[in-house]
Chain A
Amino acid sequence: MALDIFKEKGVPLDRQVFTWKDLVRRPYSKLDDDAFTRVCVIYMNGIMADALRTKHAIARMNRDLREPLALVRRVEQHEQTLINWLNPPDQTPLETTLGFEQVAIEVTASVALREPDPYLAQTYRFGLLEDFDHLYRYGALYDRLEGKDPNSITQSYTDILAGRPTSVEHRNPLDDLRRPYDKRTAVPLTKLHAMSITAAENQTHDYYMTVGPFFSDPVARQLYAEIASIEEQHTSMYESLLDPDETVLEKLVMHECMQVYNFYSCLAYEKNPRIKEIWQRFTDYELGQLHHMIQLFQQVEGRDAAEILPKTLPDPIGFKEHREFVRKTLNQEEDLASNGPDYVRMADLPRDHRSFVYRDQLNSDGSPSETVAAGYQWTPGTELAARAQRMGSVLEGKKVH
């Protein structure tokens, strides 16, 4: 049954408490848990990072909201901690990166399929094909740097194939900006989608900017630099979908609603009871925070929050594979480019287009994403498995079997 966010009040803000032991729990298992458990953890960490980021930005520009924002933000800090600390320590930054790209592919695909506004749906499909290529590039890095199979992380849910090549994704900043939805006419789901994907991409950018320098291999360092740059483009692209004319409190209310929606989606998917219990708890916490924000909105703006919020939450995000949809999109839209906010065929742009000039300059000293995946085709057990099979078992130059 759909969640009635007006009726469900959740846990009041002053009862949302933690201890250090509570924040630092037993992580999920990299080996045994389902890939979508990791997807939810990585995704929700991104959602909560954005909750803090958005409130900090507003607090820097608004005197009156500082106190109410500080109260909610502290709880969100601890929610984010609890979630992010579920990532296990045997999961390396590169393995977590593969998880980030699986989030970007499967969550964006779910959003693109359900988005009612065709222009926004197009934008999600456009970004999706680029993140799809990132998984392939990082997969090649994982195989070629460490001799490990990226599918041990993605668990046969997601294709590991070249998408729109990363080397052609670099665009002039003006070609990353899109037309925003209109707050007066857009349905709530459109707003929830745009805020969610913006949050996820922003966190992906921040993660790559943090872990990139931990790598010793220069191609790995270059690849993180390159893909972080695309994630910055994606953050710019997705955030430009948000209507800048929404009032600050309107944005805050919708953001809380977006958090409820995402926790509720994870709750609907999760099968690991230890993790599911966390999604239930935070759905209840977020409902409490939403009502705190609704109160503030109604006080300050003198408007009814029902004007902007959905009565019940939309269907939860589909945490599942979307291979058929992604393949179809790849088949039909791989060669798309953008000219300002419009989508065009790449071949229709003049050779001296600002985005070509920009990307040729960046790639003029070599392309990390091309280097790392040159000739790479994902093979189960790594590309070395195929090579070893061809070689057979050899001892002192003689075949032993």
Chain B
Amino acid sequence: MKKTTSDLGMNRTGIATSPVDSADIIQAAQKRQPSHLGDDSLILKVRQQYAVESDGIGSVPPPTSLKGSNSKPTVFIDKLGERAAFERSGVRLYQGALAKFEVLGSWEGGPTREGLTRILNDELSHFGLVSEVLTKLGADPTAMTPCADVAAVTSMGLPAVVSDPRMNLRDTLHALLVAELTDNAGWEMLIELSRGLGHDTLAERFQLALDAEAEHLTLVRNWLSAGVTLEARATPVPRAEAGPGLTPTV
């Protein structure tokens, strides 16, 4: 069994695995002309055509009451719905990370149980905070808003990495890093939006959440970085040479 992600093994995905066969199929591919003229832009043209005909993925459920009647209230509800959903899914990500931590252990400078648990609890409380705000605004915190859906589609791979038992704690931290990066940007945007709509008190509460998220990001990045550095030190890897050597040879 391989101990780390980057241990040498029998990876067969590159053309260098089978130089004779590869040379043969490359030659055949060069000899045979495509059946139709054009290039990769045709796919994009069809996509554009469908985009023009599309009417979006769905709508924001109408709130019963909302401050600031001269603005479009659904935008705020939509973004709040996105944050609530993201924080809720974040809890599941950290539960998965903790489960891996328990069975696989950590490394010097790596995640601790306390650290992971703290972030998990923060995500849970942020979910609670946004749900409470949604309720106060007369919106339904259980509804899946379009932005929540887009964010979930965007981050579809995150729970896939965390829940895959073949992917280790370092792989999981990579997924958490992606989550924290987008989470930080999400809170920043929500704070700007709140201020713009005159919800200053809300913006202040959201700022506390952003402060916590910024700490999460630092923690996760440092844990991951320590893990990668340590792994690189433990196993000598061939030095990559810059230049034409990167071009596949057959």
Contact = CB atoms under 8 A, between A and B. Distances in A.
Interface in B36-55: 36-40, 42-43, 46-47, 49-50
Contacts of B38: 370-371, 374-375
B37 A374 contact: yes
Contact of A160 (B25, B36, B40): B25
A77 interface: no
B34 interface: yes
A32 B12 contact: yes
A138 interface: no
B32 A156 contact: no
Contacts of B34: 162, 373-377
A31 B12 contact: yes
Interface in A375-396: 375-381, 383, 385, 389
Contacts of A218: 46-47, 49-50
B248 A156 contact: no
Interface string A141-163: 00011000001110111111110
A328 interface: no
Which of A156, A158, A216, A379: most chain B Cβ within 10 A?
A: A156
A152 B14 contact: yes
A49 B34 CA distance: 35
Nearest to A400: B242
Given A377-B29, A377-B34, A381-B248, A156 B18 contact: yes
A34 B18 CA distance: 11
B37 A375 contact: yes
B10 A371 contact: no
Interface string B1-39: 000000001111111011001101110111011111111
B160 interface: yes
Give the secondary structure class of B's interface. loop
Given A156-B21, A218-B47, A33 B12 contact: yes
B164 A162 contact: no
A373 B46 contact: no
Interface in B218-250: 242-243, 247-248, 250
Contacts, number: 122
Given A157-B21, A374-B34, A379-B29, A144 B12 contact: no
Nearest to B14: A152
Contact of B47 (A88, A219, A373, A389): A219
A161 B33 CA distance: 8
Interface in A346-383: 366, 370-381, 383
Interface string B198-218: 000000000000000000000
Contact of B18 (A27, A88, A155): A155
Interface centre among B18, B30, B39, B40 (most CB of A within 10 A): B40
A217 B17 contact: no
Given A152-B13, A375-B39, A401-B243, A380 B26 contact: yes
A162 B28 CA distance: 11
A380 B15 contact: yes
Contacts of A30: 13
B25 A162 contact: no
A26 B167 CA distance: 12
B30 A377 contact: yes
Nearest to B165: A26
B179 to A, nearest CB: 18
Interface string A25-39: 011001111110000
B29 A370 contact: no
A133 B35 CA distance: 10
Contacts of A89: 160, 164
A323 B25 contact: yes
Interface string A200-220: 000000000000000011110
A165 B47 CA distance: 22
B247 A372 contact: no
B15 A144 contact: no
A338 to B, nearest CB: 20
B50 A151 contact: no
Interface in A187-240: 216-219, 222
A171 to B, nearest CB: 18
Contacts of A32: 9-12
Contacts of A327: 28
20 contacts: A31-B11, A31-B12, A133-B35, A144-B40, A144-B43, A151-B25, A155-B17, A156-B15, A159-B28, A159-B29, A160-B29, A165-B35, A217-B43, A323-B28, A371-B38, A374-B40, A375-B34, A375-B40, A377-B33, A385-B248
Interface of B: 9-15, 17-18, 21-22, 24-26, 28-30, 32-40, 42-43, 46-47, 49-50, 153, 160, 164, 166, 242-243, 247-248, 250
5 closest A-B pairs (Cβ-Cβ)? A374-B38, A152-B13, A156-B21, A218-B50, A162-B35
Given A30-B13, A32-B10, A370-B35, 20 more contacts: A31-B11, A31-B13, A32-B9, A33-B12, A144-B40, A155-B13, A156-B24, A159-B29, A160-B25, A161-B28, A162-B33, A162-B35, A165-B36, A218-B50, A370-B38, A374-B40, A375-B36, A377-B34, A378-B29, A385-B248
